[in-house]
């Protein structure tokens, strides 16, 4: 026997039983985000590597070690998308969407690729549900984004949710603060982990993320960006918080919040779930006012979020999603009735019913058992001269003309 081939490490198959729960998440997104004026967008699975190098930030974990980068036949360097924001900003610029009424709002449900250590809640191909609102700096947009995400997590049933919130200020504030933090880190260099020490120049903010005990001790006394915000940024942040307070959304202010993407400015947030283990991050996002300009577009303020589908489902637990109900199962009593039965099922679907026909040549008894397994509401048994329609709930049955099966089911479905 030939050796069996397995799915690559860090990937998984979505089997039909799992698909129902994912469909429910997608439907919630369509309802909640679509209803708020967000339109669906899909971008290519791979992009020019340069997009992520510039858009995500050269110093980030994603760009430094997690990208699937390859050269295509024409010698171009391409990368499987590791996140959704940079591609959507690229599309916004490419299609001249700054000419549309602002903000332009998008949502997506796509898979992303990162070369990471595969474990529970961490995959190499994973799915995210996200949204971006591009073209407005108004704090209303930040608050709306956060509230829509909270509503989504609630609709999906994510348990024990916690929201952490901070503001990074603008790029200028951050640059000044960065120097202050770098000077502070250098003064305590001997107590820091090697990784943090090596990153003082490149990404000093990540020091707040470290698990290393010495580093953590040093960081307890570190200056905080939240205390250094310009008046304008502080006002913007206060406005966002006031809107969340009015909406009764609970959050913790966390001045040490950092996220693994370089493009954030001002509002920054992360939703975690205590129902998850080590990989507790369910969703995150923030404002990224400088990104579009960095990608060669006009200076454009924007805000967005991304939520991990696998972690949302894990944190939602095993609450069952109803299987697709079957309105009509079409059985046949004789070989000669196979074709008429097939035709009735097809017609029924065109009439809007969920209808299936026997496909495995079972005995009539076996067909009825199969209809029962599927939970079919009605069964039509087609014979050589006529049909019998059985109501599976009441057990009642009557002989009918084959042409009457669909109208009868439609009428009774409606009156139920
Ligand atoms: P983490 O800190 O867990 O690595 P992250 O900061 O890299 O997360 P983001 O890039 O902000 O995550 O992505 C948003 C969400 O996408 C995360 O909160 C998480 O739910 C999900 N996510 C990120 N990476 C993975 C992955 N490799 N597998 C599954 N889900 C992921
Ligand atoms: Mg990560």
**Mean pLDDT, contiguous 10-residue spans, the chain (416 residues):** 94 92 94 95 98 89 94 98 98 97 98 95 97 97 97 95 93 86 95 93 86 93 92 95 97 83 85 91 95 94 97 86 82 96 96 95 96 95 96 94 96 80
The pLDDT, as a whole number, for residue 322 is 60
Distance CA 230, CA 241 (A): 16
C-alpha torsion sign, points 307, 270, 299, 66? negative
Query: Distance between alpha carbon 362 and the CA centroid of its chain, in Å?
Result: 42
- How many whole angstroms separate alpha carbon 284 and alpha carbon 147? 12
Residues 41/108, Cβ–Cβ less than 8 Å: yes
What are the structure tokens assigned to 27, written together?
A: 């439907």
Q: Please name the residue ranges forming H helices in 6-80.
A: 16-35, 49-55, 61
**pLDDT on residue 108:** 98
What token pair was written down for 220? Answer: 């307890």
Nearest-Å Rg of the Cα atoms of the chain is: 28
Token pair belonging to 29: 């997104």
- Ligand having the closest approach to the CA of 125: 1
Contacts of 354 (CB under 8 A, 6+ apart): 324, 325, 326, 327, 328
- Residues 262/245/282/171 CA torsion (nearest 10 deg): 0
Q: Give the number of the ligand closest to the Cα of residue 12.
A: 1
- Measured CA to CA, the distance from residue 355 to residue 362 in angstroms comes to 17
Ligand 2 midpoint to CA 346 (Å): 47
pTM exceeds 0.85 for this model: yes
Q: From the CA of 394, how far away is ligand 1's center (Å)?
A: 50
Q: Nearest Cα to 42, choosing from 26, 55, 53, 31?
A: 26
Q: Phi first, then psi: what are they for 226, rounded to 5°?
A: -60, -25
> 160 CA to middle of ligand 1, Å?
18
The Cα–Cα gap between 293 and 290 comes to 6
Which stretches of 103-197 are assigned E, i.e. beta strand?
A: 104-113, 125-134, 161-167
Pair 362, 351: CB distance under 8 Å: no
Query: Is ligand 1 within 6 A of the CB of residue 130?
Result: no
d(C-alpha 131, C-alpha 108), whole Å: 6
pLDDT at 233: 93
Half-sphere exposure of 241 (CA within 13 A, CB side): 16
Query: Going along 4-103, which residue ranges are E strands?
Result: 39-40, 46-48, 69-71, 77-80
Which atom, in ligand 1's list, is nearest to the CA of 285? Answer: 11
Report CA(101)–ligand 2 centroid distance (Å).
34
Task: Report the number of secondary-structure helices (H) and strands (E) in the chain.
Answer: 14, 16
Q: 112, 206, 281, 288: which to mutate for ligand 1, most atoms within 8 A of CB?
A: 281
Q: Which residue has 């609970």 as its token pair?
A: 250
- Residue 64 CA to ligand 2 center (angstroms) comes to 12
In whole angstroms, give the CA distance from residue 20 to residue 22. Answer: 5
Query: Which ligand 1 atom sits nearest the alpha carbon of residue 261?
Result: 10
Tokens in use for 269?
A: 């947030």
Mutate to test the pocket of ligand 1, among 112, 117, 284 (most ligand atoms within 8 A of CB): 284
DSSP designation for 143 = H
pLDDT of the residue at 416: 65
């Amino acid at each position: 026997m030939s050796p069996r081939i397995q799915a690559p490490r860090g990937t998984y198959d979505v089997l039909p039983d799992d698909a129902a729960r994912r469909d429910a998440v997608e439907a919630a997104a369509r309802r909640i985000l679509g209803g708020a004026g967000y339109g669906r967008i899909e971008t290519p699975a791979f992009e020019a590597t340069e997009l992520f190098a510039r858009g995500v930030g050269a110093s980030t974990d994603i760009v430094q070690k997690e990208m699937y980068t390859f050269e295509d036949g024409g010698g171009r360097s391409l990368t499987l998308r590791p996140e959704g924001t940079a591609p959507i900003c690229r599309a916004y610029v490419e299609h001249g969407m700054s000419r549309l009424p602002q903000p332009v709002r998008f949502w997506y449900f796509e898979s992303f690729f990162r070369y990471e250590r595969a474990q529970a809640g961490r995959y190499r191909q994973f799915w995210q549900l996200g949204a971006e609102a591009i073209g407005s700096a108004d704090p209303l947009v930040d608050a709306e984004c956060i509230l829509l995400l909270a509503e989504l997590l609630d609709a999906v049933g994510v348990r024990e949710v916690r929201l952490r919130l901070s503001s990074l200020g603008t790029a200028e504030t951050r640059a000044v603060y960065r120097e202050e933090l770098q000077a502070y880190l250098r003064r305590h260099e001997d107590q820091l982990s090697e990784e943090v020490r090596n990153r003082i120049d490149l990404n000093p903010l990540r020091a707040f993320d470290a698990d290393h005990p010495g580093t953590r001790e040093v960081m307890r006394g570190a200056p905080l960006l939240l205390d250094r915000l310009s008046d304008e940024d502080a006002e913007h942040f206060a406005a966002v918080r006031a809107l969340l307070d009015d909406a009764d959304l609970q959050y913790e202010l966390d001045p040490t919040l950092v996220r693994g993407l370089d493009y954030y400015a001002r509002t920054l947030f992360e939703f975690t779930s205590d129902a998850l283990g080590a990989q507790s991050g369910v969703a995150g996002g923030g404002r990224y006012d400088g990104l579009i300009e960095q990608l060669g577009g006009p200076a454009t303020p924007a805000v967005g979020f991304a939520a991990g589908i696998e972690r949302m489902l894990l944190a939602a637990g095993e609450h069952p999603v109803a299987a697709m109900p079957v309105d009509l199962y079409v059985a046949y009593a004789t070989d000669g009735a196979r074709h008429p039965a097939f035709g009735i099922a097809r017609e029924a679907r065109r009439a809007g019913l969920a209808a299936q026909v026997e496909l495995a040549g079972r005995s009539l008894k076996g067909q009825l058992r199969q209809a029962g397994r599927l939970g079919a509401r009605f069964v039509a048994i087609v014979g050589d001269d006529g049909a019998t329609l059985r109501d599976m709930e009441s057990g009642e049955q009557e002989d009918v003309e084959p042409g009457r099966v669909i109208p009868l089911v439609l009428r009774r479905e409606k009156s139920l």
